[in-house]
Amino acid sequence: MKIHFDFDSKHFENSEVVLVGAYAKKDGGVQLAWSDTQLKKEFDMAKTSKNFKAAPGTTYGFTCSRMSDVIVVGMGEKSKAKAEGIRRATAHALMAVSGGKYNSVSIDAASFNAINKLGDTAGLINEALIMTGYKFDKYFKETPKESFKDICIYISDKKAKKQVEKIEDTSKNLADSVNFCRDLVNEAPNVLHSEEYAKRIEKDCKTALKGKGVKVKIMGKADLKKEKMNLFLSVNAASAYEPRLVHLTYTPKKVTKNTKHYALVGKGLTFDTGGYSLKPGASMMGMKFDMGGSATVYGAFRAAALNNAPYKITCILGMTDNAVSATGTVPDSIVKGRSGLTVEILNTDAEGRLVLADCLDYACDQNPDYIIDAATLTGACLVALGSQVCAVLGNDDKFVKQVQDSAKAQDEYMWQLPIIPEWRDDMKSKIADLKNIGTPARAGTATAAAFLENFIKNDIKWAHLDIAGVCDSQAHLPYCPSKGASGLMVRTLHNLLNG
Ligand code: BES
Ligand code: MG
Ligand code: ZN
pLDDT tens, residue by residue, 310-343: 999 999 999 999 999 999 999 999 999 999 999 9
Tell me which residue has its CA closest to atom 13 in ligand 1. 349
Mean pLDDT along residues 456-473: 98
Is 279 known to be catalytic?
A: yes
Is 436 a pocket residue for ligand 1 (Cβ < 6 Å)?
Answer: no
Model pTM score: 0.98
Tell me the ligand closest to 381's alpha carbon.
Answer: 1
3-state secondary structure the chain: CEEEEECCHHHHHHCCEEEEEEEECCCCCEEECCCCHHHHHHHHHCCCHHHCCCCCCCEEEEECCCCCEEEEEECCCHHHHHHHHHHHHHHHHHHHHCCCCCCEEEEEHHHHCCCCCHHHHHHHHHHHHHHHCCCCCCCCCCCCCCCCCEEEEECCCHHHHHHHHHHHHHHHHHHHHHHHHHHHHHCCCCCCCHHHHHHHHHHHHHHCCCCCCEEEEEECHHHHHHCCCHHHHHHHCCCCCCCEEEEEEECCCCCCCCCCEEEEEEEEEEEECCCCCCCCHHHHCCHHHHHHHHHHHHHHHHHHHHCCCCCEEEEEEEEEEECCCCCCCCCCEEEECCCCCEEEECCCCCCHHHHHHHHHHHHHCCCCCEEEEEECCCCHHHHHHCCCCEEEEECCHHHHHHHHHHHHHCCCCEEECCCCHHHHHHCCCCCCCEECCCCCCCCHHHHHHHHHHCCCCCCCEEEEEECCCCCCCCCCCCCCCCCCCCCCCHHHHHHHHHC
Residue 148: the pLDDT is 75
Residue 357: the pLDDT is 99
- The pLDDT tens digits for 215-232 are 999 999 999 999 999 999
Ligand 1 atom, smallest distance to 277 CA: 18
Mean pLDDT along residues 167-186: 98
Distance 376 CA to ligand 3 centre (A): 6
Tell me which residue has its CA closest to atom 8 in ligand 1. 468
Ligand 1 atom, smallest distance to 274 CA: 13
Distance 379 CA to ligand 1 centre (A): 5
Set 279, 336, 401, 428: catalytic member: 279
* Whole-number percent of the chain with pLDDT over 70: 100
Confidence label for 11 from pLDDT (cuts 50, 70 and 90): confident
Is there a contact between 457 and 367 (Cβ–Cβ < 8 Å)? Answer: no
Per the model's pLDDT, the better-predicted residue between 146 and 92 turns out to be 92
- The pLDDT tens digits for 132-142 are 999 999 999 99
Is 321 a pocket residue for ligand 1 (Cβ < 6 Å)?
Answer: no
Distance CA 244, CA 321 (A): 10
Confidence label for 259 from pLDDT (cuts 50, 70 and 90): very high
Q: Which of 349, 437, 465 to mutate to test the pocket of ligand 1 (most atoms within 8 A of CB)?
A: 349
Which residues are CB-neighbours of 87 under 8 A, at least 6 positions away? 124, 127, 128, 131, 411, 479
* Whole-number percent of the chain with pLDDT over 90: 91
Beta-carbon neighbours within 5 Å of ion ligand 3: 269, 272, 290, 352
Is 220 a pocket residue for ligand 1 (Cβ < 6 Å)?
Answer: no
Mean pLDDT along residues 5-29: 91
Mean pLDDT along residues 75-99: 96
Distance 398 CA to ligand 3 centre (A): 29
- The pLDDT tens digits for 35-79 are 788 888 999 999 899 999 999 999 999 998 877 899 999 999 999
Per the model's pLDDT, the better-predicted residue between 9 and 418 turns out to be 418
Confidence label for 144 from pLDDT (cuts 50, 70 and 90): confident
Ligand 1 atom, smallest distance to 290 CA: 1
Residue 101: the pLDDT is 87
Residue 228: the pLDDT is 98
Residue 9: the pLDDT is 85
Ligand 1 atom, smallest distance to 436 CA: 19
Is 87 known to be catalytic?
A: no
Tell me the ligand closest to 442's alpha carbon.
Answer: 1
To the nearest 10 degrees (0 to 180), the angle between helices 161-186 and 490-498 is: 140
Distance CA 422, CA 301 (A): 35
Which of 485, 69, 99 has the alpha carbon at shortest distance from 299?
Answer: 485
* Alpha carbon of residue 151 to chain centroid: 24
